[in-house]
Amino acid sequence: MRALKDRRILLGISGGIAAYKVGFVARGLRKAGADVRVVMTQAATKFVGPLTFEALTENPVGTDADFFHTGGGVSHVEMARACDLIVIAPCTATTLARLAGGFADNLLSAVVLASRAPVLLVPSMHTAMWQSHAVQQNLARLDPSRFRVMPPEAGDLASGDVGPGRFPEPQDILEQAAATLGPRDLAGRTIVVTAGPTREPMDPVRLITNPSTGRMGIEIARAAQVRGARVRLVLGPTEVPPPRAFDDASISVVRVMTTQQMLEATQAALQGADALVMAAAPADQRPAAPRPGKGRKKDLPATLDLVTTPDILLTLRPALAGRIVLGFAAETDDVEASGRRKLDEKGLDLLFANPVGDGVGFGARPNEGFLVSRDRDTETVASRTKADLADFLLDRLAERLPTSGGTTH
Ligand SMILES: Cc1cc2nc3c(=O)[nH]c(=O)nc-3n(C[C@H](O)[C@H](O)[C@H](O)COP(=O)(O)O)c2cc1C
């Protein structure tokens, strides 16, 4: 979400029932470091008060009372000039019609018309309204070089009906906003990301696994999509959901359970890929002979025979030639040296070695450690959120991708 930092974002709110959810968007934009100015339509102010957004953004909120008032204040032309991106959420059928028709009869539509900034629209309305000829015609009339439209999600609607029209999750809107502002330095690249733990069954209800949440790999997949990559995410069993794909091609997710399944899915995903980010924590051992039934506690064996699971990076090493590979090492001792050993052993380009235990590493949100690489000195990486770490690691990976773009694998 680094693309939002220090950017000036005009958040337009029109009069849909989802207006009550936009506080989370305003807050998320602020947290990402953006300067947020809110403009509300008259109808929007009937759903939620401007005071909420003044408090959340620490800026005055523009309303139609300001538009039709000549005594000082900031004009629509000044507002139009002073923004890098306009986000309209929710965008009603009426506001969409105004934008498609080039109207300037309220503050929000006048700002959009007077500005050259890109516009991200988040339409939200009843399914029948969304699918109506008029709304679809209006969408088709927008200039695609300036307007980006997030199609509404399908699901439960305020009316009690079910269908497309739902307001998306605030996090998804923030990602689209970040993608609109760039950089798109991974456009045209295909990146395979593995994330999460694997599970090795002892029987249908007992298993060997580890505390990986998948958050690190999921943040890398999210950031790579925002930067324009096509992402293939091979995901173990995680509670944290994968990022929502911007479109059919931007993220594909393959869910796996065991280390063997992760190996096979990663191998398949590497076809035509430029890079592999191995952020998963596959289980290193599995029960030698999983039992077919649950079995009662008193009948369980006191010891368990284990066998080693395949090493994904070593097994795939021949297929990784010519691709940039970033690995991770969670270490309890001698973190940097252990990381460098793993980098050499597995023939990686880059490896992020981080300490685990005592509340850091697995599951914990901030992360810190050392970036060791084949071609440069070790970089010490101070504690930062996994989202920020994802962008940092992708910077280092992007620097090493061949400039021609795409591979011929
Ligand atoms: C309770 C209620 C909920 C509404 N929800 C929506 C909505 O979700 N989407 C929409 O396009 N219009 C919705 N409308 C209709 C808009 O409020 C109406 O078209 C209004 O004129 C929009 O004006 P604006 O685009 O200037 O904000 C709703 C109206 C009411 C009374």
Closest ligand 1 atom to 92 CA: 11
Residue nearest to atom 26 of ligand 1 (CA): 41
Residue nearest to atom 9 of ligand 1 (CA): 125
Write out pLDDT tens, residues 48-88. 999 999 999 999 999 998 887 766 667 899 999 999 999 99
The Cα–Cα gap between 369 and 334 comes to: 11
pLDDT for position 73: 65
Stretch 152-166: mean pLDDT, rounded? 89
The Cα–Cα gap between 360 and 356 comes to: 5
Residue 124 Cβ inside 6 Å of ligand 1? The answer reads: yes
Write out pLDDT tens, residues 102-144. 999 999 999 999 999 999 999 999 999 999 999 999 999 999 9
The per-residue pLDDT of the chain, averaged, comes to 93
The Cα–Cα gap between 9 and 86 comes to: 6
DSSP state of 6: T
Write out pLDDT tens, residues 344-376. 999 999 999 998 876 555 655 678 999 999 999
- Asked if 231 contacts 250 with a C-beta cutoff of 8 angstroms, the reply is yes
Mark 45-71 as b/e (b = at least 16 C-beta within 10 Å): bebbebebbeebbeeebbbbebbeeee
Residue 127 Cβ inside 6 Å of ligand 1? The answer reads: no
The structural domains of the chain, ordered by start, are 2-181 (3.40.50.1950), 190-400 (3.40.50.10300)
Write out pLDDT tens, residues 163-174. 999 999 999 999
In the set 59, 138, 210, 354, the catalytic residue is 210
pLDDT above 90 (res 406): no
pLDDT for position 182: 82
Tokens of 367: 């992360």
Closest ligand 1 atom to 93 CA: 11
> Is the entire prediction scored with pTM above 0.85?
yes
Looking at the DSSP bridge assignments, the partners of residue 121 are 88, 149
Dist. CA 175 → ligand 1 center (Å): 25
- Asked if 29 contacts 174 with a C-beta cutoff of 8 angstroms, the reply is yes
Ramachandran bin of 217, using left for φ above 0, alpha for ψ from -120 to 50, beta for the remaining angles? alpha
Dist. CA 165 → ligand 1 center (Å): 13
Closest ligand 1 atom to 106 CA: 26
Residue 118 Cβ inside 6 Å of ligand 1? The answer reads: no
Active site residue 210: yes
Tokens of 21: 């959810």
Query: Exposure of 331 by Cβ count < 10 A (0-12 exposed, 13-18 middle, 19+ buried)?
Result: buried
Looking at the DSSP bridge assignments, the partners of residue 357 are 360
